[in-house]
Amino acid sequence: MALLLAASLARGDSLAFVDPLPPGAYAVGCSNVEQDFSRVGPGETAKNYWEGFADNGRDRYVTQLLIDPADALLFNVAVPNDRELFTNRATQQVAYALIVCYPTDARNPRADYPLPTGFSVPHMQRGAEAPIWADPSARWPVLLFSHGLTGSPLSNDYIVALTTLASYGYIIVAPFHGDPRFADVRIDNISDFAYAALHFNTFVEMQAIRPLSTSAALDLVLAHPQYRDHVDPARVAGFGASLGGETLLLQAGAQLTTTIGMSSKQVIVDPRLKAIASYVPYFGQTFLPAFGRDQKGLDAVAVPFLGISGFADTTAPVVATAEGVKRLTHSRELLALMGVGHYFDYPSAPDIFTWSLIFLAAHVLDDRAARVRIARMIAVRGGGDDRLLLDYTEPAPLAPGERDVIEYHAPSLDHYFLTADPTEIAVLDGAIIPGWNRTGFEFKSWTVESGRGIPTCRFFGTPGVGPNTHFYSIDPVECAALRGSPYWTFEGLTFAEDAPVLGDCAADRAPVVRLYNNGMGGTANHRFLTSHSETTAMWLAGWVIEGTVFCAPP
pLDDT in the model for residue 194: 67
Strand-pair category, 305-310 with 332-337: parallel
Q: If you average pLDDT over residues 46-55, what whole number do you get?
A: 97
Q: Which domains does the chain have, with CATH numbers?
A: 2-30+98-107+134-152+161-392 (3.40.50.1820), 402-552 (no CATH)
Strand-pair category, 231-241 with 273-279: parallel
- Residue predicted with more confidence, 11 or 212: 212
The secondary structure element, H or E, covering residue 425 is helix 422-429
Strand-pair category, 264-266 with 255-257: antiparallel
Inform me whether the pLDDT recorded for 195 exceeds 90: no
Confidence of residue 1 (pLDDT cuts 50, 70, 90): very low
Phi and psi, residue 357, nearest 5°: -70, -35
Dump pLDDT digits (tens) for 208-235.
Answer: 999 999 999 999 999 999 999 999 999 9
d(CA 160, CA 153): 9
Neighbours of 130 (CB within 10 A): 9
329-351 burial, b for 16+ CB within 10 Å, e for fewer? Answer: eebbbbbbbeebebbbbeebbbb
Q: What share of the chain is helix, strand, coil (3-state, %, to 5)?
A: 25, 30, 45
What angle is formed at CA 466 by the lines to CA 462 and CA 467, rounded to 5 degrees?
115
Give, rounded to a whole angstrom, the gap between the first and last alpha carbons of the chain: 29
d(CA 21, CA 12): 22
Helix ranges (DSSP H) in 11-136 = 46-51
Confidence of residue 193 (pLDDT cuts 50, 70, 90): low
- Residue predicted with more confidence, 9 or 416: 416
Dump pLDDT digits (tens) for 123-174.
Answer: 999 999 999 999 999 999 999 999 999 999 999 999 999 999 999 999 999 9
59-78 burial, b for 16+ CB within 10 Å, e for fewer? Answer: ebbbbebbeeeebbbebebe
Phi and psi, residue 265, nearest 5°: -150, 140
What angle is formed at CA 374 by the lines to CA 369 and CA 377, rounded to 5 degrees?
115
Inform me whether the pLDDT recorded for 401 exceeds 70: yes
Answer yes or no: are the C-beta atoms of 140 and 214 closer than 8 Å: no
Phi and psi, residue 381, nearest 5°: -65, 145
SS3 (DSSP) at 197: helix
What angle is formed at CA 382 by the lines to CA 376 and CA 385, rounded to 5 degrees?
75
SS3 (DSSP) at 50: helix
Cα-Cα-Cα-Cα torsion 99, 100, 104, 110, nearest 10 degrees, comes to -20
d(CA 271, CA 80): 19
Inform me whether the pLDDT recorded for 287 exceeds 60: yes
Q: What percent of the chain has pLDDT over 90?
A: 93
Confidence of residue 191 (pLDDT cuts 50, 70, 90): low
Answer yes or no: are the C-beta atoms of 110 and 82 closer than 8 Å: no
- The closest alpha carbon to 204, from 243, 147, 153, 252, belongs to 243
CA atoms within 13 A on the CB side of 526: 22
Dump pLDDT digits (tens) for 313-328.
Answer: 999 999 999 999 999 9
Please give the mean pLDDT across all residues of the chain: 95
- Longest Cα separation, the chain: 89
Inform me whether the pLDDT recorded for 438 exceeds 70: yes
Dump pLDDT digits (tens) for 94-114.
Answer: 999 999 999 999 999 999 999
pLDDT in the model for residue 399: 96
Q: Which residue type is seen at 10? A: A
Strand-pair category, 93-104 with 73-78: antiparallel
Sign of CA dihedral 189, 99, 170, 26: negative
Dump pLDDT digits (tens) for 474-502.
Answer: 999 999 999 999 999 999 999 999 999 99
Strand-pair category, 526-529 with 510-516: antiparallel
DSSP 364: T
Answer yes or no: are the C-beta atoms of 117 and 93 closer than 8 Å: no
